[in-house]
Amino acid sequence: MQGLFITFEGPEGAGKTTIIQKLASDLEKLGVKVLLTREPGGIQISEKIRHVILDPNNTEMDARTEALLYAAARRQHLVEKVVPALNEGTIVLCDRFIDSSLAYQGYARGLGIEEVFSINQFAIQTLMPDKTLYFDIEPELGFERIGNNEGREVNRLDLENLDFHYKVREGYHILLEKFPERMITIDASKQMEQVYTQTKEIVEKLIGRLHL
């Protein structure tokens, strides 16, 4: 049986990573076969590309180079990790995917959502997520949360100004209108427990449908 490909998106500090780590662990306890992974990264080659893209010292990186590197990391991660897991019937929970490229590089960087979608089509062929949970948050609140998390490394994208991060959020809102069937919004400004409960309910329903 084919698994389910669920992606988690949102601006910086929305809480995606925290929530999906707990979700993966709780689903595993219920006996669900789960793969928790992330973009850019998830496998050795893509983690190396991540390091290049997110290194705060790489201040000269061209926007198209950035978009192509994300797409390259995505391609390798899909082929090496995501597709084999889906073919084994695994529930794949992925921290960011193509919508990050559309919101960050396509909209906020100004390369164009359609243009960035088109280079990503080369990378992903036809493999889009079954569902995408979008964690919506005001950038200021996201950064306030990040500021409280001392262990988190500061990456090159974090260093963009607040206007850029507002554009990222606006970009996601455009994507919600473009992909209403696939994308669901979660109000990530709420308390962690509430955000978690809502996320878990949605994911359990999706898994339930798969096993009908």
Ligand X SMILES: Nc1ncnc2c1ncn2[C@@H]1O[C@H](COP(=O)(O)OP(=O)(O)OP(=O)(O)O)[C@@H](O)[C@H]1O
Ligand Y SMILES: Cc1cn([C@H]2C[C@H](O)[C@@H](COP(=O)(O)O)O2)c(=O)[nH]c1=O
- Our finding on whether 104 is near ligand Y (CB under 6 A) is yes
Cβ atoms of residues 106 and 116 within 8 Å: yes
In the chain, count of helices (H) and strands (E)?
9, 5
Cβ atoms of residues 183 and 175 within 8 Å: yes
- Our finding on whether 13 is near ligand X (CB under 6 A) is yes
Query: In whole angstroms, what is the distance from residue 127 CA to residue 5 CA?
Result: 9
Query: In whole angstroms, what is the distance from residue 48 CA to residue 51 CA?
Result: 5
Choosing from 8, 70, 107, 134, the residue that interacts with ligand Y (CB under 6 A) is: 70
Specify the stretch interacting with ligand Y by CB under 6 A; choose among 33-41, 129-137, 174-182, 194-202: 33-41
Choosing from 15, 40, 42, 106, the residue that interacts with ligand X (CB under 6 A) is: 15
- Backbone region of residue 191 per phi and psi (left: phi > 0; alpha: psi in -120 to 50; beta: other values): beta
Specify the stretch interacting with ligand Y by CB under 6 A; choose among 28-36, 95-103, 136-144, 176-184: 95-103
Cβ partners under 8 Å of residue 156, min gap 6: 53, 54, 55, 56, 58, 59, 61
Choosing from 46, 76, 90, 101, the residue that interacts with ligand Y (CB under 6 A) is: 101
10 is in an annotated binding site: yes
Q: Which residue is nearest to ligand X (CB)?
A: 15
Of residues 111-170, those binding ligand X (CB under 6 A): 145-146, 148-149
11 is in an annotated binding site: yes
Specify the stretch interacting with ligand Y by CB under 6 A; choose among 98-106, 124-132, 135-143, 202-210: 98-106
Q: Which residues are annotated as a binding site for ATP?
A: 10-17
